[in-house]
Amino acid sequence: MPYVTADDGAQIHYLDWDGGGSPVLLSHGWPLNADAWEAAALFLSHHGHRVIAHDRRGHGRSSRTWGGNEMDTYADDLACLLDTLDLEGVALVGHSTGGGEVAHYLARHGGARVAKLVLVSAVPPLMVQGDDNPHGVPIDVFDGIRAGVEHDRSQLYRDLADGPFFGNNRNGDVSQGIRDAFWLQSMAAGAHNAYECVAAFSATDFRPDLAKIAVPTLVIHGDDDQIVPFDVSGRLSAEQISGATLLIYEGGAHGLPDTEPARLHRDILAFIES
């Protein structure tokens, strides 16, 4: 399996579907890995794009480092991957935590290699509630996730898959296979890494990052996202990124790559080829 080596020696695993055309980098959500994007990767590569998807450190097949489970290091790992593969004119696509990762990469490393940005159900600008973010998600929610990781992460991941992640508690139409895949990928993340990543996706303030984004950006968000609420994230990101285009999926849940793959694939392809 291919890896790149980060500055601290961590091995970052990636998958490469080389459809021969312009590159697309897919960044996954918590606590998943590159396999979460496999349907999109197949679609985009079959439509002539080279598609790269990596396992964030601590997730999937990448190194389970004790440190570095925060956005600065995630962005640096992404820079290592893009630089090692020498990708130019890449479209960055990030789902959930991955949306924070790609936005932070742009702010921290610049956009010389980047042509476009797509944020899907993404965590920016800032999830956790605070004095300057009164409409955010209360810290108790994230403390509860951390407690679940500590005490019974297997059941936590089952509960997320069977309930709010895919909106399965609303209509119950997400297949058992999709839910099982979520659990399997989640269990492949290190417990310590998954625990620390909760702070990375919930408490990182991406507002300064969004102000620096100068590439064409598409924000896609479901208005029934129970994990990363639309009014906390997608709506505000679209307002704070200069010139961003916003697509709202009516009734859309958080796990759009699995709940609405056909529509999502078409929308991403149309944007990156426009």
Give the residue numbers marked as catalytic: 96, 225, 254
Can you spell out the DSSP letters for the chain? --EEE-TTS-EEEEEEEE-SSSEEEEE--TT--GGGGHHHHHHHHHTT-EEEEEPPTTSTTS---SS--SHHHHHHHHHHHHHHHT--SEEEEEETHHHHHHHHHHHHH-STTEEEEEEES---S--B-BTTBTTSB-HHHHHHHHHHHHHHHHHHHHHHHHTTTTTHHHH--S-HHHHHHHHHHHHTS-HHHHHHHHHHHHH---HHHHHH--S-EEEEEETT-SSS-TTTTHHHHHHHSTT-EEEEETT--S-HHHHSHHHHHHHHHHHHT-
